[in-house]
Amino acid sequence: MKAARDAHSVALVINAGARLAAAGPEQALGKLQKAGLPISSVHYVGTGTELTGALDRVLAAEYDLVVVGGGDGTVSYAAGRLAGTGTVLGVLPLGTANDLARTLEIPSGLDAACTALADGKVVDIDLGRANGEPFLNVASVGLSVGVTESLSPRLKRSLGPLAYGVAAVRAYARHKPFRARLEFPAGDHRTLELENMLQVAVGNGRHYGGGNAVSPTAGIDDHTLDIYAIAGAPLREHIRIARMLKDGSFVERDGVYHLTTQQHVRLVTEPPLPVNLDGEIATVTPTDFTIERNAVHVVVPHHSNAARLDG
């Protein structure tokens, strides 16, 4: 299958709790059908258990294409279930940050996203795993977990992507430094011992946190995990780093460690910490991070250059 229009059977799975889902899931169904996609199964889910059940059913039915509407956490979980099955993933960005859609150059508006999906091409992208749990964008510990915990549904509904900035200020005020150790079992780097850390992140894709970039060179199909670690510093230095998050150039600052691996990295922290996977707290440290190359077949707009290295 090289394009969405090649699909003979399509299932639509929508997270009804996503920030933009209430604006019209029926509209998405109608627009996709009008565009020529043969959608024969529709599932509205409200919990993780319901999402798991819906994906179990569509996988058992062997649909060619599964369109998932929701935020990054919903889409990443679905990608983890679809990886290696041959079923193609379609993405409707209905969340707050929609960083995967930004990486894949999928339009943010519902009309444009449906059109781009119906007319789109199929490419391969990598999938990250953290203790076996899937992520497409970034996995992280430290400040980002505090940001996620501060992002209430009410705050996201009222402020949209601006809620990330408000949550970051709140989380920064409460942050407690931690120790971290980065181990590379394949031997491609020496073990790195880190003190007084603000955040450690492992990126599979390019964007996270409402449009920030993991690094200037990060890509979702380069078979590479980008690792960065930001140490504690005076507030003025962290403000300088924050101003460089959008293009990823912050990794070049003193006090920021940046490494890449195409193998395996293990993160150990003291104390043990929860790990944020694409906006969902899904595991704890110590954490083993690996990458599955070309694991997910996904529809992107014809003009997208996000998967230039697909295999």
Supply the residues annotated as catalytic.
280
Which segments of the chain does DSSP mark as H helices, in order?
A: 25-34, 48-60, 72-82, 99-104, 110-118, 143-150, 153-159, 163-174, 235-242
| DSSP calls for 102-134 | HHHT--SSHHHHHHHHHT-EEEEEEEEEETTEE
**What DSSP state is assigned to residue 39?**
E
Residue type at 187? G
95: tokens are 């969340």
CA atoms lying within 13 Å on the CB side of residue 70: 27
CA–CA gap between residue 221 and residue 79 (Å, rounded): 14
Cβ count within 10 A of residue 288: 16
SS3 79: helix
CA dihedral angle for residue 156, residue 159, residue 162, residue 165, rounded to 10 degrees: -70
CA–CA gap between residue 80 and residue 50 (Å, rounded): 16
